[in-house]
Amino acid sequence: MEKAEREAPGAYWSGKARQLEPYVPGEQPRDRKFIKLNTNENPYPPSPRVAEAIAKALEEGGESLRLYPDPACTELREAAARHYGVKPEQVFAGNGSDEVLAFAFAAFFDSGPGAAPVLFPDITYSFYPVYAGLWGLSFRNVPLTEDFAIDTAAYAAPNGGIILPNPNAPTGRPLPPDALLSLAESQKNHGRVLIVDEAYAAFGVESASVHIGEYPNLLTVHTLSKSASLAGLRVGFAIGDEGLIEALCRIRDSFNSYTLDRLALAGAKAALEDVSYYREINRRVAVTRERVSAALSALNFTVLPSAANFIFVKFPRLPGAEAFAALREKGILVRRFDRERIGDFLRVSIGTDGDMDRFLAACREILAGKMEDGRWMLDEEAR
């Protein structure tokens, strides 16, 4: 019997699968030792209490793993509530903030004919348009200002909801608190939700969650991947009025009631309870961020002001693609977005002081190269 010809890729895909343009994560190398400054991971280890809590959850030979975890994530939500000064009923937990955001797009934004568009910045977290495509939502990108800031006044238009990161990604620029609350007030008056994605808030801004009592339409979304050094554990949560939390639960329980496993629940709870440890390591990240920003500015780099654990920078006289390749050749991974307005910028995660010293040294070496055949040579090639 002749072997059937291989079907074309996607032959059995749904129309939805065909039209989606999935999010592309940062590179996770396996074949070479790199300094990883491309995925905004915290350079410091998690609190020792995290490993202790996970080990305790595995006592008695992991017997507890044969049982489903708590679908309500009760102890984790209670720990988050204590940490942020809210009620457990105002906290929703999920498998990383990406899952929480995906649920939020489904819970608060309408699709179909006549639905008003969701608004978010034109330069921002690139998962937002992916979520909109997944749920069939119309959306409108609101341009950043000339200096890459979010202008909240530009969102004063009919909409089906607004989502803003604070600080923004990949730029790192924070929002003025008064402007954010004014937008929340406007959205409340129009019966619309404002979602504030606070993935990087721990490195330089106050959480807007302190205002959820005034704004029942305000939802803040958080992750332990960055601030708690737990990118490998996948834990996120949202804080908002009980009515918003109930909507998220309805979406979750239409997909999978058990979004967090027992080990993640134990480790995340321990992380939220070790406030002093994380306050110190995140302070160190912020100090390093300011030092590196100043050093790059002295080298005539364009450096946007950042309140996150990364900086958004542009080499002087060197296209972004070439700068990205030159750093990679030197064993340093950063992130570049091949898009209008920001194609010459690089997003650089803040590593340890040693990592960042090597990054700065590499930048100086690249700048010491010379032009040959229309491209910048690395200093080793130029000699």
Which helix (H) or strand (E) segment holds residue 218: the answer is: strand 218-223
Q: Tens digit of pLDDT for each residue in 75-91?
A: 999 999 999 999 999 99
State both tokens at 69: 């975890």
* Residue 3 scores a pLDDT above 60: no
Q: Tens digit of pLDDT for each residue in 211-235?
A: 999 999 999 999 999 999 999 999 9
Q: Tens digit of pLDDT for each residue in 315-330?
A: 999 999 999 999 999 9
Q: Whole-angstrom Cα distance, residue 149 to residue 129? A: 19
CB 270 within 8 A of CB 49: yes
Please state the pTM of the whole predicted model.
Answer: 0.91
* Residue 35 scores a pLDDT above 80: yes
Q: Whole-angstrom Cα distance, residue 159 to residue 47? A: 42
Does a structural domain hold residue 92? Answer: yes
Which residue has better confidence, 19 or 145? 145
Place 8 in a pLDDT band, splitting at 50, 70 and 90: confident
- Describe the crossing of helices 74-84 and 262-273 by its angle, rounded to 10 degrees: 20
Which residue has better confidence, 332 or 33? 332
Of 257, 273, 289, the one marking the end of a domain is 273
Does a structural domain hold residue 363? Answer: yes
Instruction: Say which CATH number the domain at 58 has.
Output: 3.40.640.10
In the block, tokens 């008056």 appear at 189
Q: Output the average pLDDT for the chain.
A: 92
* Angle of CA points 144, 313, 23, to nearest 5°: 65
Distances (CA, A) of 40 to 27, 245, 362, 364: 12, 28, 19, 23
* Residue 36 scores a pLDDT above 60: yes
Q: What are phi and psi of 117, to 5 degrees?
A: -75, 145
Instruction: Say which CATH number the domain at 292 has.
Output: 3.90.1150.10
86 CB-side CA count, 13 A: 26
Instruction: Say whether both 281 and 266 belong to one domain.
Output: no
Does a structural domain hold residue 8? Answer: no
Percent of the chain past pLDDT 90, that is, above it, reads: 84
Does a structural domain hold residue 9? Answer: no
What is the β-pairing status of strands 236-240 and 218-223? Answer: antiparallel
Instruction: Say whether both 78 and 198 belong to one domain.
Output: yes
pLDDT at residue 216, rounded to an integer: 98
Of 249, 273, 297, the one marking the end of a domain is 273
Instruction: Say whether both 348 and 261 belong to one domain.
Output: no
Of 273, 303, 337, the one marking the end of a domain is 273
Instruction: Say whether both 223 and 350 belong to one domain.
Output: no
The phi-psi region of residue 335 (left if phi > 0; otherwise alpha if psi is between -120 and 50; otherwise beta) is: beta
Instruction: Say whether both 261 and 315 belong to one domain.
Output: no
Give the count of domains, the chain.
2
pLDDT at residue 85, rounded to an integer: 97
Does a structural domain hold residue 10? Answer: no
Q: Whole-angstrom Cα distance, residue 198 to residue 307? A: 11
Does a structural domain hold residue 1? Answer: no
Does a structural domain hold residue 6? Answer: no
The phi-psi region of residue 193 (left if phi > 0; otherwise alpha if psi is between -120 and 50; otherwise beta) is: beta
**Residue 363 lies in domain:** 15-40+276-382
Instruction: Say whether both 251 and 143 belong to one domain.
Output: yes
Place 283 in a pLDDT band, splitting at 50, 70 and 90: very high
Output b/e per residue, 146-155; b: 16+ Cβ within 10 A.
eebbbebeeb
Q: Whole-angstrom Cα distance, residue 114 to residue 106? A: 17
DSSP track, 13-49? --HHHHH-----PPP--SSS--EE-SS---SSPPPHH
Instruction: Say whether both 191 and 329 belong to one domain.
Output: no
Instruction: Say whether both 101 and 228 belong to one domain.
Output: yes
Question: What would the mean pLDDT of 362-366 be, rounded to a whole number?
Answer: 96
pLDDT at residue 18, rounded to an integer: 84
